[in-house]
Amino acid sequence: MAQPVEVHYWPTPNGHKITIALEEMGLAYEIRPVNIGRGEQFTPQFLSISPNNRMPAIVDPDGPGGAPISVFESGAILQYLGRKTGKFYGADERARVEVEEWLFWQMAGLGPMAGQAHHFRQYAPSMISDQRQVAYGAIRYTNEVNRLYGVLDKRLADREFVAGDYSVADMAAWPWVTPWKLQGIVMDQFPNLKAWYARIEGRAAVQRAMKVAEDLRSGPGLQAATPEAEAARRVLFGQRAR
């Protein structure tokens, strides 16, 4: 019996991608929490598998040739899992190219731009004294996310999923659409995307994966705004351990 995949994880969109994929592919896994607010992404143990100090990362004890392998970067993890299982990654080279196009679209566009929109809309107002800078950033990135939603909505006009069949490309994009309200998006303006979002939301594997996030968020010390939480935010946005 194969050993479970170790998932070094925190409940963020990039983390959700991996638990969704593992649930959809039927692979056993164990969550290894990496509390990014407490700076746990900077520990030597985590850096040994994710040198860019970003989660998620995985360690698969049953890697190529039966030897363990670690993989960092959520897109690379999805590709690895797709190749390992032969699931949700295209049945032939043409299909794989299409999946990879939209996977890289998410990695290079939707994820980074939505992340910046979240930062300027949710966090920057209390961190930057010049509110003109905050407003510029918020407008710039909200507009870009809105454009990307339009790209996705157009793509979905004549298909149920972004690359034809349901694939890791959908698993990559869906978690970044989940916080659409915080991104300043009016979802009703994107009816095809809205329908796609609901289709994926209703999948049992997706619901199980999001339950993992819910359970971790409900853990001790994660609900209340405390001095410790403020210190954690400084660690997170300072990009290095204090």
Shortest CA distance to 159 belongs to which of 204, 192, 206, 197?
Answer: 192
Q: Considering the chain, tell me which residue range(s) the CATH 1.20.1050.10 domain(s) occupy.
A: 93-201
Q: Considering the chain, tell me which residue range(s) the CATH 3.40.30.10 domain(s) occupy.
A: 5-87+215-238
Give the pLDDT band of residue 223 (cuts 50, 70, 90): very low
pLDDT higher than threshold 60 for residue 82: yes
CA distances for 219 relative to 7, 30, 40, 212, angstroms: 18, 17, 16, 11
Per residue in 193-221, pLDDT (tens digit) is 999 999 999 999 999 999 999 999 887 65
Contacts of 175 (CB under 8 A, 6+ apart): 13, 14, 16, 17, 20
Domain 5-87+215-238 CATH assignment equals 3.40.30.10? yes
pLDDT higher than threshold 60 for residue 233: no
Domain 93-201 CATH assignment equals 2.60.40.1180? no
Determine which helix (DSSP H) or strand (DSSP E) holds 88, and give its type and residue range.
Answer: none
Structure tokens at 188: 């009703």
Residue percentage of the chain with pLDDT more than 70: 90
The reported pLDDT for the residue numbered 238 is 57
Give CB contacts under 8 A, 24+ apart, made by 231-239: 232/35, 232/37, 232/38, 232/39, 233/37, 233/123, 235/37, 235/38, 235/39, 236/36, 236/37, 236/39, 237/119, 237/123, 237/127
> What mean pLDDT comes out for the span 24-44?
95
Q: What are phi and psi of 35, to 5 degrees?
A: -75, 100
What global pTM score does this model have?
Answer: 0.90
How far apart are the C-alpha atoms of 124 and 128, rounded to whole Å?
Answer: 6
Q: What are phi and psi of 58, to 5 degrees?
A: -130, 155
The reported pLDDT for the residue numbered 128 is 75
Q: How many CA atoms, within 13 angstroms, populate the side-chain half-sphere of residue 187?
A: 13
Q: What are phi and psi of 72, to 5 degrees?
A: -120, 165
Using the 8-state DSSP alphabet, how is residue 92 labeled?
A: S
Q: How many CA atoms, within 13 angstroms, populate the side-chain half-sphere of residue 42?
A: 13
Per residue in 12-29, pLDDT (tens digit) is 999 999 999 999 999 999
Q: Which amino acid is at 166?
A: Y
The reported pLDDT for the residue numbered 126 is 77
